[in-house]
Amino acid sequence: MQSSPTTFYIASAVGLGVAATAPLFISHGFLLYMLSLSVIGAIIATGLNITNGYLGILNLSVGGQVALGSYVCALTALADVPVPVAIVLAVTAGAALAFVTFLLFARLTGFFFGLATIAAAEVVRLMIRNLDTITHGMRGVRGYPPLAQSPAITYWLLLAALAAVLLLVSLLVHSSIGLRWRAIRENANKALSLGLPVRRLQLAGYTLAGAVMSFGGALLALLLQYIEPGIAGLNTLVQTVLMVALGGGGTILGPVIGALAITLIPEFLRVANELRLVIYGMTLIVVVLAVPGGVVGTFNRVMRTRRRLAAIRTTKGATGCPQ
């Protein structure tokens, strides 16, 4: 997955191609809906992964970004704005919120910055809840047009959106920008001493992350066809953080795998009735403890180790050294 960009793109294209065939074999509407929900979760988690995985910034504003994107999209679509334009407005609003949030709290670092981003998300939730004449308050918003009339077409459009987001992030990660992001993640002070514009790179990455998460929020509103202030709550934050942690922060495909697991596993465990949440929680704990770098991160580390060992054996064989 990290051997080379070309290998990654080929593997990703094959994976997305296989995923695109799902509506041809799935007749159950609810399962297709859950797959669509996991795709949106992957988009949101990919946005969070930009800051938390690549830049090393503790960003906990997910709920606010998702809620802002959802409400801007839903309310503008309800006002007869075309859905594509409503999505663009939601992404713009999300980028603006992230830009302002980072500028306000740029002097804070680490845990304190994370707390400040939670506060920013809570401000968004309270505004949505109390601006009743605009947001409909606790009644929520419904009655706006969907992304598409067909569940299959909706799924394909969401999959195309995920592919576009993954391509954008991958191109950035495999460029000099991604190299600078990782340098800042490893040691921001050292990166600054080397002449890197740390604050500007962090601001750009944080703004992009906010735009991507609000993009996911807009798509979520169009899929759910009903949103209320709870979308900005703790559940959105916890689920998204778990998606990144479980799949592997600082990897392209980690959030996608994490989103699939977090969204679908609880549904498969419904056969266990009351015990399903206990089993689900215990499974998450075991996986996180067993693979602290996430599924994809651990896989990449194992493959790198195997390649290094193979190179050492090859070198020893070529020089005639005993094995």
Does any domain span residue 304? no
Give me the half-sphere count of Cα atoms (radius 13 Å) on the Cβ side of residue 191: 20
- The pLDDT of residue 288: 66
SS percent in the chain: helix, strand, coil, step 5:
80, 0, 15
- Per residue in 79-130, pLDDT (tens digit) is 999 999 999 999 999 999 999 999 999 888 888 999 999 999 999 999 999 9
* Alpha-carbon gap, residue 128 to 174, rounded angstroms: 38
Does any domain span residue 284? no
Classified as helix, coil or strand, 96 is: helix
Does any domain span residue 124? yes
> Which whole-number Å values give the CA distances from 247 to 10, 38, 61, 287, in the listed order?
20, 13, 20, 10
Which CATH number belongs to the domain containing residue 122 in this structure? 1.10.3470
* Alpha-carbon gap, residue 250 to 272, rounded angstroms: 34
Count of beta carbons in the 10 Å neighbourhood of residue 8: 18
Number of domains forming the structure of the chain:
1
- The pLDDT of residue 188: 87
* Alpha-carbon gap, residue 72 to 100, rounded angstroms: 17
Q: Shortest CA distance to 62 belongs to which of 265, 220, 287?
A: 220
- The pLDDT of residue 280: 67
Q: Write b or e for each residue in 218-247: b if 16 or more Cβ atoms lie within 10 A of its Cβ, otherwise e.
A: bbbbbbbeebbbbbbeeebbebbbbbbbbb
* Alpha-carbon gap, residue 262 to 32, rounded angstroms: 16
Q: pLDDT under 50 in the chain at which residues?
A: 1-3
Does any domain span residue 299? no
Does any domain span residue 120? yes
Does any domain span residue 317? no
Q: What are 226's strand-pairing partners?
A: 142
Does any domain span residue 209? yes
CA–chain centroid gap for 295, Å, is: 15
Domain encompassing residue 181: 12-275
Does any domain span residue 173? yes
